[in-house]
Amino acid sequence: MSLPHAILTALLEKPSSGLELTRRFDRSIGYFWSATHQQIYRELGKLEQAGHIRALPAQAPARGQKKEYEVLPAGRAELAAWVRRSEDPKPIRDALLLRLRAAAVVGTEGFGDELRRHLALHRAQLAEYLAMEERQFPPERDSEADRLRHLVLRGGIELERFWTAWLTEALAEFDRRDC
Amino acid sequence: MSLPHAILTALLEKPSSGLELTRRFDRSIGYFWSATHQQIYRELGKLEQAGHIRALPAQAPARGQKKEYEVLPAGRAELAAWVRRSEDPKPIRDALLLRLRAAAVVGTEGFGDELRRHLALHRAQLAEYLAMEERQFPPERDSEADRLRHLVLRGGIELERFWTAWLTEALAEFDRRDC
DNA sequence: AGCCCCATGTAACTGGTTACATGATTGA
DNA sequence: TCAATCATGTAACCAGTTACATGGGGCT
């Protein structure tokens, strides 16, 4: 039940249309909760029906027309309740670790390249987050909300650091074997 | 499409019944790919129909009866092909980071306790993995397959270290504010 | 007989993915 | 007028979750 809450958070930060939300999910929010436009439109419909958000008036409700939403008090209350609710961490599901384990059984041929490819992707992601950090969190921006958002971004950064470190170690292991 | 391959890997390591697989998913394989018994039975049915595994003969196929499976050559081939296939890393979806971001908007009241709870859970998981490492990978066990499996476990360990470190940092931030 | 545990399953639901459809606006 | 792009949506499917059903074997 996280997507509707991700959308409520995004809309509280700034009222938006479905496509704008999609783009924001591709950027800032997307680094810890991704969603496609199809999901977002479906969820916006549900949230509107539940009375958690509403379309800003003075918008033609026609098909190809932009439709902006804002959060209603009920939506904010629901989000606050969700934040206070306690939820266990979900067990990891990582296909790359799984594939490495499978490779231990059926052979590692060609797997080094895949590890190198992932390493490059994670390095790029790390660089992007670091650039974001510099842009969005200069030392003088230090309000309460900023510090919390910064903490979230540092989570993303440290996660990418973990991956680059682990992949580097894995590749060293691979290269040692192949000599 | 990872669950069937997780099952093929587990069955290659050791032919098993559905319930035995479930237990192994709760332990070793589960630390990077979790699955419930319902999923496993369903997937075993599909894999059998596809000709990737078969039930060991000399087993009564009655309802309450144990049914052991082994991997057929076609299943091994499919697994090897999957390992060689290249797959992009999935974007992260983490509810705790999302909730922290939401808390930045609607207020952090009570969230420190949730962070402490998660920290305790991740510390416990880390301790469990470290114990597993000592048990399963003593220095003398150093075959090719062992080193790869060890690498996978170290992935799990480093991931838990990341979480404990990040949660500690987040709590420090919270406690600083509350004074 | 009644209970518990082992073992295998079914059914309904939820959330996420993929492919496609449709209308509005803009600029060549 | 045509193509590209912005914008909103539908439909079918797939994977994972939750709740429940059924049967066998052993224990008291």
Tens-level pLDDT at each residue, chain A (179 residues): 899 999 999 999 999 999 999 999 988 888 899 999 999 999 999 999 999 999 987 555 556 678 999 999 999 999 999 999 999 999 889 999 999 999 999 999 889 999 999 999 999 999 999 999 999 999 887 888 899 999 999 999 999 999 999 999 999 998 887 65
Residue A24 approaches strand D within 7 Å at CB = no
Give the nucleotide nearest to B6 (CA→C1'). D15
- Residue A39 CA distance to nucleotide C19 C1' (Å): 14
pTM across the whole model: 0.93
Q: Which of A48-62, B26-40, B69-83, B149-163 has the lowest average pLDDT?
A: A48-62
Phi, psi values for residue A37, rounded to 5°: -65, -35
Closest CB to A114: pick one of B32, B86, B97.
Answer: B86
Please answer yes or no on whether B98 and A5 come within 8 Å at the CB atom: yes
Chain B positions in Cβ-Cβ contact with residue A94 (cut-off 8 Å):
32-33, 155
Residue B92 has pLDDT above 70, yes or no: yes
Task: List Cβ<8 Å contacts ≥24 apart for A172-175.
Answer: A173/B147, A173/B148, A173/B151, A174/A108, A174/A111, A174/A112, A174/A115, A175/A112
Cα radius of gyration rounded to whole Å, chain B: 21
Share of chain B above pLDDT 70, in %: 94
Please answer yes or no on whether A122 and B89 come within 8 Å at the CB atom: yes
Q: Residues 36-65, chain A: which have Cβ within 8 Å of B?
A: none
**Is A123 near chain B, with CB under 8 Å?**
no
pLDDT at A71: 97
- Residue B1 CA distance to nucleotide D14 C1' (Å): 9
Q: Residue A34: exposed, middle, or buried by beta-carbon count in 10 A (0-12, 13-18, 19+)?
A: middle
